[in-house]
Chains A and B, each alone.
Chain A
Amino acid sequence: MSAGGNLLFLIALLPFIGALVPGVMIRAGRTACATFTAVPTALALVMLMILAPAVLRGEVIQAEIAWLPQLGLSAAFFLDGLGLLFAGMILGVGLLITLYARFYLSSKDPMGQFYTYLLLFQGAMLGIVLSDNILLLLIFWELTSLSSFLLIGFWKHLPEGRQGARMALAVTGSGGLAMIGGMLILGNIVGSYNLTDILQAGDAIRASDWYLPALILILLGAFTKSAQFPFHFWLPHAMAAPTPVSAYLHSATMVKAGVFLMARMWPVLAGTDAWFYIVATTGLVTMVLGALIALFKDDLKALLAFSTVSHLGLLTMLLGFGTQAAAIAAVFHIINHLTFKAALFMTAGIVDHETHTRDIKRLGGLRHLMPVTFVIGTVAALSMAGIPLFNGFLSKELMLEEAAHTTWAGNPYAVPVLATIGALLSVAYSLRFIGHVFLGPARDDYPQKPHDPPFGMWAAPALLAVLVVLIGVMPFLAQDIVNAAASAVTGTEIDIYLKVWHGITPALYMSILAVIGGAVVLWLHRPLDRAWITAPRPEAKTIFDGLVAAIVGLSRGITEATHNGAISRYLAIFVVASVALGVIAFSGGGLTAPTRAMLPVPSIVAIGWLMLVVATCAVVVMHHARFQALVLIGVIGLTISAGFIYLSAPDLALTQISVETVTIMLLLLALHFLPKTTPKESPLALKLRDGMIAVAAGVGIGALAYSFLLRDISTISAFHLANSYEGGGGTNVVNVTLVDFRGYDTYGEIIVLGIAGLVIYALLETLLTGPVARRLRNSERVDDLSRDRHPTMMVVVTRVLMPIAVMVGIYIFLRGHNQPGGGFVAGLVIAIALLMQYMASGFAWTQSRQRIEYHTMIGWGVIIAGLTGAGAWLVGYPFLTSAFTYINLPPIEEFELATAMLFDLGVFLAVLGSVMLMLYSLSRLARLAGEKTNTDAMDFDPADRITDKKAGH
C-alpha cells in the first residue's frame, strides 16, 4: 500500500478517533473543547490537501485491507475527483461549523456531547464518499442516518426535536434499507462489491434484467436522503435541530449524500430512459415545489429548508439529464450551493440568536442594527437568487442552458418553462429573505434588542460569503476541482473553462425573465400569501403520522392476535405451521422408490408395540389422574428401552432405562407439591381441535419416519467403524464416538447439563428466600403421607444395595470403552444408588454423610474433561485428540489406558453432579414444607425401641 493509501485510511479514521476527544476535553472548558474538536478535522483536511494535487492530476488513490474476502467485504477506500470534492466540503465546513457552534450553543447545552455526535457524523460522511466497497458504503450510509438522528434530536427537551429526529430516521432509514437491496443486486450482477469494479461494468448492468429493480431501490435510498419529492417532508421538520446542525447536515453534507450517490453511480446507471424519466422528473418537480413552498414559509429556517429541497431537486434534475454538460453543471452547483446555503443557515442562526425569533413577519429593518450580518446574508441570498457576479448565477446559467435543450416526452417546452419558474420562485424567496428580514424600517418590538454577534460567530459565514464572491467573479478558481470531480462522475476526461460571460444565450433570457418575475412575485407577496394560507394543501406531517399510526396499529393487531399470553395457542400455531410445511414438502414429489426391504416382525415385538400404543393412548385419556399417568409414562420408557436392545443399541437401552428411573423420581418429587389431579376444564371443541392437530402431527411424523426408514442414505459412519479400534482404541464404537470422534459435542453437552442443574439450583434458591418459602412453611402437606416414612426393610435393603450398585456403576464405567456402558450410564447408575439412600433414610440423614458438594462435582467434571482435551495441545495435537496404550501389570491381565477414559470420567462426574443437584434441589423444598427432619436412618429403629422400653420401665 502506498503512502497515499495510508493517509487515506487515516483520513477516514480520524473523525472516529477524534469523537472520543470532546467528551474528555469538555472538562477543560468550552473553548478548549471546540479547539480540540477542530484538531482531528484540521489534521484530516491537511492530509487531504497533501493528496489533492495527485488527484487533481487525475490519479486515483486506493487503499484496501481485506477483511472477509469470502463475502466480498473489505475495508477499501479510494479517492478520486468526486471524493476529493466531497471530502473537502465535509472537512472544510466541519471546521467552520465547529467554530460557529462554539459561539452558538449556550452554556447550558452539553457541548461535549454535541461535538462527539458531530465528529461521528463527519466520520460517517467521509466514509460514504471515500468507500471503495459498496457494503462498507452501506454501513457508513446507515451511520449517517443514526448520527444525524442524534444531532437532530440534540435538544431532547423539545418535542419538535424528538419528532423531527424520529421522522428523519424513519424516512432515511427505510430508504437506506431499500438501497441495501439495490446495492446487493448490483454486486450480484457484477460479481464484486468493489465500487471500482462496478463502475467499470456499466454496460453489463444496464443490459441486465435486474437493472430496473436495482435502479429503483438505489434511487429510493438517494431520494429519501436528499429529500426529493415525495420524501421531502422530513427535511423541514429536521430544522428543529440546533442551527449548526442544520447548516452542516442539511445544506452541505448529509442531504448531499443522495446527490453524491447518484453522481457516483452515474457512469453505471445513467444514460437510460428509465434514469432520465425517474431522476430528471423527480428533480424537476422537487425543484419547483420546494421553491413554491419556500416562498410562503415565515420561519427563516423553514424557508431555507425548502429552498434546500428545491436546490437538491435542481441537482437531481441535472444528474437525471444524463449529459456531460449537465453533470459539470451539477458538480459546480454542489460547490456553489454549499457556500451560499451554509452561509445563509448561519446567518439565520445569528438572527435567531440575537433577536430570539425566526419569524420573518416579526423581523425587518435589521440592516441598521446588524450591518455585518446584513452584508453576509445579502451576498449569500443574492447568490441563491442567481444574480450575476455571485457564484449561484454561474451554475444556474449552466442549468438553464441544459434545461433549454431538454425535451421531455417529445415536448421541448416543459422542462425549460418549469426550470424558469423554479428559478423565478428562487429569486422571489431569496429577495424576500433580504427584503423582509434586513430591509425596511427598524422595528421596536423584537423579542430582544439585536446587535451583531462576536467575531467568532460571524467569521465562518463571512468566509463563505467571500468565497461566494470570489468564485462568482473568478470562476476559474474552482475550475480544477470541478474538472476533476466531473471527470470522476462521467468517467471521461473533462477539461472545460468556466467563465462569467457566456454571451447572449437562451439561458440569459430565461435568467432575466426569472429575476424580473421574481421581483414581481415578491411585490405581490402579501395577496399571494393570503391565497396560499386559505388554499387547501396536504400536510405531510399529518400524513406521515397517520401512516406511522396505521403501521403501529397493524403490528399491534398482529401481535395481540398471535401473542396474547396463551402458550397453548403459540404451540398450536407452531405445530400447525410445521405440519403445513411438511405437507408442502411431501406434495412436492421427488420421493424415490423404497430401496430397503422391511425387516420381519416377531410376535414379541408386536406385543411390545401394542403395549406402547395402548400406554400412550392411556396417558392421553387418563392424564387427569397424574400418578397413574406417571406410571404409564414409565411403561412407555421401559418399552422403548426394550426396543433399543432389540434393535442393536445396547448403550441406548442402558441410558434410557436409567434416565427413565431418574425422570420418574423427579416427576414424583414435583408431584408432591403440585395438585394430584388435572381439572377437566377443556371444552369439547378445544379437545377436538387439539386432537385433530395431534393426529395430523402424528400421521405426518409417522409418514416421514416410514418413508425415511425405507430408503438408504450415504453416511459417514463407515469412518467411525473403521477407525474406532485403530484410532480410538475402543471396540464400543458408540462410546468411542462420544469421547473421541465427537468429543467436542459431548463436552458441550455435559456443560449444558451442568448448567441445567445450576439453573434448577438457582431457581430454588430464589424460591427459598421469597414469599413462597413462608407459605410453604405454614402449609400442611404431611397429612396424606405414610406413617412409616423410612421403613426398616427399605433402609436395610438400600444399605446392602449401595456397594453393589456402586460397583455396578464402576464396572459399567470401566468397560465403557469396549463394551456397552460409559460415563453417561455410570453417572446415572451411581445417581440412582445415591437417590435410593435419600428415599430410604431421608434428606437430612443422607445430607450429613455427603462429602462432596454437587456443584463442585459438576465443576470438576467439566474441568477434567476440558483439561484432558487441552492436554492434546501439549503434544501438538488439536483439542480433544485422544491417546491410548496397553499396559501389562501382573497379576492383572493386560489392560488399556486411554486419555479418553479420563474424558469419560469428566462426563461421569458432570452427569452425576447434575442429576443429583436437580433431584436434591427438589427435595430441599420438601424439607421446607413442614416435613420433619430426621437424623436417624429410620423412623422406628427396632433397637431404639427396646432401649426406650427398658428406659421406660
Chain B
Amino acid sequence: MEFIIASAVGVLTAGGVYLMLRLRTFPVILGIALLSYAVNLFLFASGRLAVNLPPILSKYGDASYTDPLPQALTLTAIVISFGMTAVLVMIGLAAFLEADSDQINIAADDTDTKTNKDAAQ
C-alpha cells in the first residue's frame, strides 16, 4: 500500500512538472493542478497510512485512530489550492484576452506582447 501511494505521488509530480514546463497557460494550469494533487496526497500521507481507522471518536472502548492533524492541514490545503488555481486561471485568461496569445514566455528577441500575436497564429 505504501508503495502505491508513494508511486502515485511520484507519477502525479512527474506529470505535473512536465505540464508545468509547457509553453501555454492552460497546460501549465493543469500541471499545477496535478502538482497540487501530489502535494496534498503527500501531506496527507505524512500522517502514515491506516485503513478503517477514521479520526471520528467512538464511544466504544479505546479504539485506535489515524493521525488527524495532517488531515486537517490537508483539508485546508485542498481548498486553498482551489483558490490558487482560480487566481491563476483568471490571470491566464486576462493575459490571453489582453494579448491574444496564451504563451507564457516573453520572446527572447522582444518583450512587446503585441508581437506575440503573430507567433501565436
**Contact of A720 with B by CB under 8 A:** yes
| CB of A327, distance to nearest CB on chain B (Å) | 61
Contacts of A775 in B (CB 8 A): 97
B interface footprint on A631-670 (CB within 8 Å = 1, 0 otherwise)? 0010011001001101111111001100100110011001
**How far is it, in angstroms, between the C-alpha of A919 and the C-alpha of B13 when the chains are bound?**
27
Contacts of A598 in B (CB 8 A): 1-3
**How far is it, in angstroms, between the C-alpha of A332 and the C-alpha of B54 when the chains are bound?**
82
Q: Is the CB of B78 within 8 A of A620?
A: no
Our pick among A650, A702, A828 for the contact of B10 (Cβ within 8 Å) is A702
Taking CB atoms and an 8 Å cut-off, the chain A residues in 590-632 that contact chain B are 596, 598-601, 605-606, 609, 612-613, 616-617, 619-620, 623, 626, 629-630
Q: Which of A678, A742, A922 has the most CB of B within 10 A?
A: A678
Known: A623-B30, A709-B48, A717-B67. A655 touches B78 (CB 8 A): yes
Closest A residue to B37 by CB, please name it. Answer: A640
Taking CB atoms and an 8 Å cut-off, the chain A residues in 708-726 that contact chain B are 708-710, 712, 715-717, 720-721, 724-725
Q: Is the CB of A705 within 8 A of B83?
A: no
Contacts of A763 in B (CB 8 A): 90-91, 94
Contacts of B42 in A (CB 8 A): 701, 705
Contacts of A697 in B (CB 8 A): 13-14, 17
Q: Is the CB of A752 within 8 A of B80?
A: yes
B interface footprint on A157-178 (CB within 8 Å = 1, 0 otherwise)? 0000000000000000000000
Taking CB atoms and an 8 Å cut-off, the chain A residues in 471-510 that contact chain B are none
Contacts of B93 in A (CB 8 A): 670, 673-674, 922, 925
| CB of A81, distance to nearest CB on chain B (Å) | 61
Known: A667-B29, A670-B92. A717 touches B68 (CB 8 A): yes
| CB of A620, distance to nearest CB on chain B (Å) | 5
**How far is it, in angstroms, between the C-alpha of A931 and the C-alpha of B12 when the chains are bound?**
38
**Contact of A731 with B by CB under 8 A:** yes
**How far is it, in angstroms, between the C-alpha of A545 and the C-alpha of B91 when the chains are bound?**
43
Contacts of B27 in A (CB 8 A): 623, 629, 678
Q: Which of A567, A679, A695, A705 has the most CB of B within 10 A?
A: A705
Q: Is the CB of A649 within 8 A of B84?
A: no
Q: Is the CB of A564 within 8 A of B108?
A: yes
Q: Is the CB of B11 within 8 A of A732?
A: no
Our pick among A656, A695, A746, A760 for the contact of B86 (Cβ within 8 Å) is A760
Contacts of B89 in A (CB 8 A): 666-667, 670, 922
Known: A617-B15, A644-B44. A636 touches B72 (CB 8 A): no
Contacts of B87 in A (CB 8 A): 756, 759-760
Contacts of A682 in B (CB 8 A): 22-23
**How far is it, in angstroms, between the C-alpha of A851 and the C-alpha of B40 when the chains are bound?**
35
Contacts of B90 in A (CB 8 A): 670, 759-760, 763-764, 918, 921-922
**How far is it, in angstroms, between the C-alpha of A619 and the C-alpha of B29 when the chains are bound?**
12
Q: Is the CB of A701 within 8 A of B38?
A: yes
Contacts of A568 in B (CB 8 A): 21-23, 104-105
Contacts of B102 in A (CB 8 A): 674-675
| CB of B46, distance to nearest CB on chain A (Å) | 7
Q: Is the CB of B105 within 8 A of A911?
A: no
**Contact of A694 with B by CB under 8 A:** yes
Closest B residue to A825 by CB, please name it. Answer: B75
Q: Is the CB of B6 within 8 A of A911?
A: no
Q: Is the CB of B6 within 8 A of A694?
A: no
Contacts of B34 in A (CB 8 A): 616, 619, 633, 636
| CB of B34, distance to nearest CB on chain A (Å) | 7
Q: Is the CB of B7 within 8 A of A609?
A: yes
Q: Is the CB of A565 within 8 A of B79?
A: no
Q: Is the CB of A702 within 8 A of B7?
A: yes
Contacts of B67 in A (CB 8 A): 715, 717
B interface footprint on A671-691 (CB within 8 Å = 1, 0 otherwise)? 101110011011000000011
Contacts of A663 in B (CB 8 A): 33, 82, 85
**How far is it, in angstroms, between the C-alpha of A629 and the C-alpha of B38 when the chains are bound?**
17
Q: Is the CB of B44 within 8 A of A649?
A: yes
Closest A residue to B77 by CB, please name it. Answer: A749
Binds B, one of A11-19, A461-469, A733-741: A733-741
Q: Is the CB of B9 within 8 A of A705?
A: yes
| CB of A704, distance to nearest CB on chain B (Å) | 8
**How far is it, in angstroms, between the C-alpha of A914 and the C-alpha of B15 when the chains are bound?**
29
Contacts of A715 in B (CB 8 A): 47, 67, 69
Our pick among A599, A619, A652, A828 for the contact of B74 (Cβ within 8 Å) is A652
**How far is it, in angstroms, between the C-alpha of A599 and the C-alpha of B85 when the chains are bound?**
34
Contacts of B84 in A (CB 8 A): 756
Known: A565-B105, A694-B21. A733 touches B86 (CB 8 A): no
Our pick among B26, B72, B108 for the contact of A742 (Cβ within 8 Å) is B72
**How far is it, in angstroms, between the C-alpha of A184 and the C-alpha of B24 when the chains are bound?**
49
Closest A residue to B46 by CB, please name it. Answer: A708
Our pick among A630, A720, A776 for the contact of B97 (Cβ within 8 Å) is A776
| CB of A945, distance to nearest CB on chain B (Å) | 37
**How far is it, in angstroms, between the C-alpha of A694 and the C-alpha of B13 when the chains are bound?**
7
| CB of A164, distance to nearest CB on chain B (Å) | 35
Q: Is the CB of A772 within 8 A of B97?
A: yes
Q: How many residues of B contact A (CB 8 A)?
A: 88
Known: A694-B14, A697-B14. A721 touches B55 (CB 8 A): yes
**How far is it, in angstroms, between the C-alpha of A691 and the C-alpha of B19 when the chains are bound?**
9
Q: Is the CB of B10 within 8 A of A709?
A: no
Closest B residue to A712 by CB, please name it. Answer: B48
Contacts of A569 in B (CB 8 A): 105
Contacts of A818 in B (CB 8 A): 56
**How far is it, in angstroms, between the C-alpha of A682 and the C-alpha of B21 when the chains are bound?**
10
**How far is it, in angstroms, between the C-alpha of A481 and the C-alpha of B76 when the chains are bound?**
69
Our pick among A599, A671, A733 for the contact of B2 (Cβ within 8 Å) is A599
Q: Is the CB of A605 within 8 A of B4?
A: yes
**Contact of A182 with B by CB under 8 A:** no
Contacts of A766 in B (CB 8 A): 94
| CB of B68, distance to nearest CB on chain A (Å) | 4
Q: Is the CB of B1 within 8 A of A605?
A: yes
**How far is it, in angstroms, between the C-alpha of A146 and the C-alpha of B17 when the chains are bound?**
46
Contacts of A820 in B (CB 8 A): 54, 56
B interface footprint on A823-837 (CB within 8 Å = 1, 0 otherwise)? 010001000000000
Q: Is the CB of B83 within 8 A of A709?
A: no
Q: Is the CB of B94 within 8 A of A599?
A: no
Q: Is the CB of B1 within 8 A of A648?
A: no
Q: Is the CB of B69 within 8 A of A710?
A: no
Q: Is the CB of A650 within 8 A of B106?
A: no
Our pick among A647, A673, A695, A746 for the contact of B51 (Cβ within 8 Å) is A647
**Contact of A757 with B by CB under 8 A:** yes
Q: Is the CB of B57 within 8 A of A731?
A: yes
**Contact of A896 with B by CB under 8 A:** no
Q: Is the CB of B20 within 8 A of A571?
A: yes
| CB of B15, distance to nearest CB on chain A (Å) | 4
Q: Is the CB of B98 within 8 A of A772?
A: yes
Q: Is the CB of A720 within 8 A of B69?
A: yes
Known: A710-B2, A756-B87. A745 touches B76 (CB 8 A): yes
Known: A566-B108, A616-B15, A702-B9. A671 touches B26 (CB 8 A): yes
**How far is it, in angstroms, between the C-alpha of A572 and the C-alpha of B11 when the chains are bound?**
18
| CB of B106, distance to nearest CB on chain A (Å) | 3
List 19 additional contacts besides A629-B30, A651-B75, A824-B75; criterion CB under 8 Å. A565-B105, A599-B2, A605-B4, A606-B4, A609-B8, A619-B19, A629-B27, A647-B44, A666-B85, A673-B96, A674-B96, A674-B102, A675-B26, A709-B49, A717-B69, A742-B72, A745-B73, A918-B83, A922-B89
A–B complex contacts, Cβ < 8 Å, 30 sampled: A617-B11, A623-B30, A630-B30, A648-B50, A650-B56, A652-B78, A656-B40, A673-B93, A675-B26, A675-B102, A693-B17, A698-B13, A702-B11, A705-B5, A705-B9, A705-B10, A705-B42, A706-B2, A706-B6, A709-B48, A720-B69, A721-B65, A725-B57, A733-B65, A738-B76, A760-B87, A766-B94, A819-B56, A828-B79, A918-B86
Closest 10 A/B residue pairs (Cβ)? A702-B10, A698-B14, A565-B106, A599-B1, A706-B6, A756-B83, A694-B18, A737-B72, A733-B68, A731-B57
